[in-house]
């Protein structure tokens, strides 16, 4: 899969310029996070992408998205 700059802009607007995990505002210093990491079989398709702050994305790294969300207390 692939994505365009316009699709990234759209994702940013949907997320209201906030990190998908910590919900802090991101400015120009944001990361495009693969929800399911490429390492775990994820794709570059728009449906597998979200915006994250650099801290959250670097902490998540290649972790399973459900395990990572649970570690943040987002899922039981």
What digits encode the pLDDT tens for the residues 14-46? 999 999 999 999 999 999 999 999 999 999 999
CA distance 59 to 29: 16
Specify which residues 52 forms β-bridges with: 31
Write the DSSP assignment of 39-64 as a string of letters.
Answer: GGT--SSGGGEEEEEHHHHHHHTT--
Checking if the pLDDT of 76 tops 80, the result is no
Q: What is the pTM of this model?
A: 0.89
Place of tokens 């650099």: 54
Specify which residues 36 forms β-bridges with: none
The whole-number pLDDT of residue 1 equals 75
Three-state secondary structure call for residue 66: helix
The whole-number pLDDT of residue 2 equals 87
């Amino acid at each position: 899969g692939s994505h365009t700059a316009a699709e990234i802009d759209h994702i940013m607007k949907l997320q209201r310029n906030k990190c998908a995990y910590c919900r802090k505002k991101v400015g120009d210093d944001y990361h495009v996070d693969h929800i399911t990491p490429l390492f775990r079989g994820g794709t570059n398709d728009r449906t597998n992408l979200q915006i994250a702050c650099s801290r959250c994305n670097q902490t998540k790294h290649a972790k399973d998205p459900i395990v990572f969300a649970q570690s943040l207390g987002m899922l039981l």
